[in-house]
Structure 1
């Protein structure tokens, strides 16, 4: 019998002062058996930092049709294609052709994530941004995970403050172009 996904719930108070986004979110995040805690935390952060009406988690880590986080408008058109981790150039090319906005959030070294894309065909590559966090930030947050989680996420001047289950962490949100 195959092992199923583990469901984690998050009650998130989001205050993104940089974008003027304030909301209380009740999220259920399915963690695939092959997914690391760090990857799941990065997915959660990407969702919150990109939060807009119509955003949702993609269909799963094993899906090739959708990114980790996707946003659609009321017509169903893809407005944001948000990858997590270290996607290949082909996925970014595909997402760039479908969506108005493409971004990558990584818990790894962004320079090492970007390096394999050099010389590869990526539609509108100059518009793609890659976001990373201070070393160790995502791993520290992953160590605080429980099945039921309470989080407050505040962003001001690209500085992220995360209170997760009573422990406060902070990190800059580092942005760099994909090319």
Structure 2
């Protein structure tokens, strides 16, 4: 008999200063990392959460959630107000999320041109309003190499540039944006 591997819990004590949006918070985040989830995907999911941080934001079950994005925002009534995908969601899923929520966004650690090309000619609700954010692959890999089970993180965003300190290591990158449509 083989036993299925369970999720690994990672904890992040975050100091978030998003100067661009006027968000200054100190959340403690617990992320369950599914065995099939790569370090790069988890780092991108963490960054998406921080860059979208607002009241009502939550992680879904990640790669195990088939009917929810990696990150979502709900209002006090439970209605989904933001659908935040990570990686390379298919057009149908993005269309569904964009129709369900007031806004949608995609964060990727992959080549954004290839991610967007997969959506070409497909129906996506208000695709022109959906931002596709990407980070340099080397940045994501470097941050992933500094991950531990318990993490201390300081993240500052100013003029669409990110400054990150994770467990004593410092990283910096621009936040690249294009539109899904």
Deviation track 1:100-148 (CA, whole Å, cap 9, x = no partner) reads 1100000011111110100101111111000011241111000000000
Structure 1 position 77, deviation (Å): 1.0
CA distance in 2, matches of 1:113, 1:140: 22
Question: Which residue of the partner structure matches residue 12 of structure 1?
Answer: 14
Q: Which of 139, 159, 164 matches 1:157? A: 159
Question: Which residue of the partner structure matches residue 67 of structure 2?
Answer: 65
Deviation track 1:24-62 (CA, whole Å, cap 9, x = no partner) reads 010000000000001000000000000000000012312
- The residue matched to 2:48 in structure 1 has which SS? helix
Question: Which residue of the partner structure matches residue 168 of structure 1?
Answer: 170
Equivalenced residue count is 179
CA distance in 2, matches of 1:15, 1:145: 20
CA distance in 2, matches of 1:109, 1:41: 16
TM-score for both structures, normalised by structure 2: 0.97
- The residue matched to 1:61 in structure 2 has which SS? helix
Question: Which residue of the partner structure matches residue 92 of structure 1?
Answer: 94
- Does residue 104 (structure 1) correspond to residue 141 (structure 2)? The answer is no
RMSD: 0.7
Ranges in structure 1 where 5+ consecutive residues have no aligned partner: none
Question: Which residue of the partner structure matches residue 32 of structure 2?
Answer: 30
* Misfit runs of 4+, over 2 Å: none
TM-score for both structures, normalised by structure 1: 0.98
Ranges in structure 2 where 5+ consecutive residues have no aligned partner: none
- The residue matched to 1:41 in structure 2 has which SS? helix
Question: Which residue of the partner structure matches residue 45 of structure 1?
Answer: 47
CA distance in 2, matches of 1:99, 1:38: 26
CA distance in 1, matches of 2:116, 2:142: 24
CA distance in 1, matches of 2:124, 2:157: 30
